[in-house]
Each structure stands twice: as structure tokens, then as C-alpha cells.
Amino acid sequence: MHNVSIYTTTTCHFCKLAKEFFKQNSVKYREISVEDDEKAQKEMIEKSGQMGVPVIDIDGKIIVGFDRGAIKKALDLK
């Protein structure tokens, strides 16, 4: 079981694609909205150095954007 978190906003198209990918592959994840949460925004920026979403944390590996290949590799999916 992987520890997966995704930093998102409600208007982010790539966030929606990432969450749909997780659902299709039965990956449990924690969604963290950075829209109105300054603490979550700061945490995301500290982890990734980025202000854009999605930022995905898989077992401490940070993936910026919806990079299907990097996500599959981090989750050991084929």
C-alpha cells in the first residue's frame, strides 16, 4: 500500500485527470485542496518548489503535474 497525497484546486484539469487515474487503478489517495488553505499551499511549495497543481506525493517522491509515466513508476504499475 502506497502513501499518496495530491495537492489540488477545484479548477485544475490535470488534477481531475490524476484523480481519475488513481480511481481507475484502485489507488487510495488523500486530496489536499490548496485553494483557500495557506498552510497547505506553504506545505506544497516547500515539498515541490512549485506553485502550480497538481503536486503528487507518492511515498515521499514528489511529482509535479500529471506525469502518467512517473506516477506509474512510483506506484509500481505496468
Q: How far apart are CA 36 and CA 58, in angstroms?
A: 23
Q: How many residues does the structure list for the chain?
A: 78
Number of domains present in the structure of the chain: 1
CATH of the domain at 33: 3.40.30.10
Query: Is the model's pTM score more than 0.75?
Result: yes
Of residues 51, 75, 46, the one with CA closest to residue 61: 75
Per-residue pLDDT reduced to its tens digit, 17-66? 999 999 999 999 999 999 999 999 999 999 999 999 999 999 999 999 99
Helices and strands, counts by H and E, the chain: 3, 4
> By residue range, what is the domain housing residue 32?
4-74
CB 5 within 8 A of CB 30: yes
Q: How far apart are CA 26 and CA 20, in angstroms?
A: 10
